[in-house]
């Protein structure tokens, strides 16, 4: 679910709840006293405050995830998932299908492998100072094995020499089919780089987010319940006078 979709659904839900709250409060407190008008206003505003609190909690969650846990926010909201491994390298997936590893202080580039990074991952294993796995070579439209040293940035592959008759046309159905199969393996394979991603991804930021949401929503509910009881007592005294 995208952020815009969540916002739209949140606004619709808040609007419906605000209408129901207004009708319920007006039925319970039909008078025109200023305090009864005030309680109706507060009950109408409350659902929107509840949605805004979820937004605030999410922004806090994003900040915690990026700056403390060093990973994407998750929750299906990040188009470019990533997580920092214990060796300082970042394992990520551009647009969720271009898997990569990159050393601290480096950035990925157009070639599928360069100094400090490897892109187009299919499978990945991490052992000591080496990453071993396979990647998709767009020039030959083949999956090739590689070894990447995390200390020296040395990249070794069993790539087939790049000759003209091996260069793949991106419009060639055979090349597209080869990439599709490699991507399926990268996403669903038993040795997919996603296995390493999930192994080192922290779950506690999500728990903090859920606790923030629950705490905020409970505060709003408790406030409304207290307001309702106070107004009920006040209305009872007004009717007796």
Phi-psi map region of 95: left, alpha, beta (phi>0 left; psi -120 to 50 alpha): left
Report domain extents, the chain.
3-69+204-240, 82-200
pTM tops 0.85, yes or no: no
d(CA 8, CA 3): 9
Phi, psi of 7 (to 5 degrees): -60, -40
Distance, CA of 80 to chain centre: 8
Residue 210, CB half-sphere, CA atoms under 13 Å: how many? 7
d(CA 82, CA 237): 60
d(CA 239, CA 58): 45
List the chain pLDDT tens, one digit each, 241 residues.
566 787 889 899 999 999 999 998 888 887 666 677 888 899 999 999 999 999 999 999 999 999 999 999 987 778 899 999 999 999 999 887 899 999 999 999 988 999 999 999 999 999 999 999 999 988 888 899 999 999 999 999 986 554 444 455 566 777 778 888 998 999 999 999 999 999 999 999 999 999 999 999 999 999 999 998 888 887 766 666 5
Could you tell me whether strands 98-102 and 155-157 are parallel, antiparallel, or unpaired per DSSP bridges? unpaired
């Amino acid at each position: 679910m995208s952020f815009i979709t969540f916002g739209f659904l949140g606004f619709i839900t808040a609007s419906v709840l605000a209408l129901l709250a207004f009708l319920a409060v007006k039925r319970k407190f039909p008078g025109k006293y200023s305090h009864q008008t005030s309680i109706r206003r507060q009950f109408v505003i409350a659902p929107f405050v509840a949605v805004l609190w979820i937004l605030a909690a999410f922004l806090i969650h994003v900040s915690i995830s990026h700056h403390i846990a060093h990973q994407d926010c998750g929750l299906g909201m990040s188009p470019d998932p990533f997580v920092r491994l214990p060796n300082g390298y970042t394992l990520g997936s551009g647009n969720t299908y271009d898997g990569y590893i990159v050393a601290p202080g480096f950035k990925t580039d157009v070639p599928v492998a360069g100094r400090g990074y490897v892109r187009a991952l299919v499978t990945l294993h991490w052992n000591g100072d080496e990453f071993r796995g396979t990647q998709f070579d767009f020039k030959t439209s083949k999956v090739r094995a590689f070894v990447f040293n995390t200390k020296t940035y040395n990249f070794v592959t069993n790539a087939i020499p790049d000759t003209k008759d091996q260069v793949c046309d991106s419009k060639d159905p055979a090349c597209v089919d080869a990439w599709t199969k490699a991507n399926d393996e990268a996403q669903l394979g038993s040795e997919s780089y996603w296995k390493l991603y999930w192994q080192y991804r922290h779950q506690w930021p999500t728990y903090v987010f859920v606790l923030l949401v629950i705490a905020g929503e409970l505060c709003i509910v408790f406030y409304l319940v207290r307001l309702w009881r106070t107004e009920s007592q006040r209305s009872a005294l007004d009717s007796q006078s």
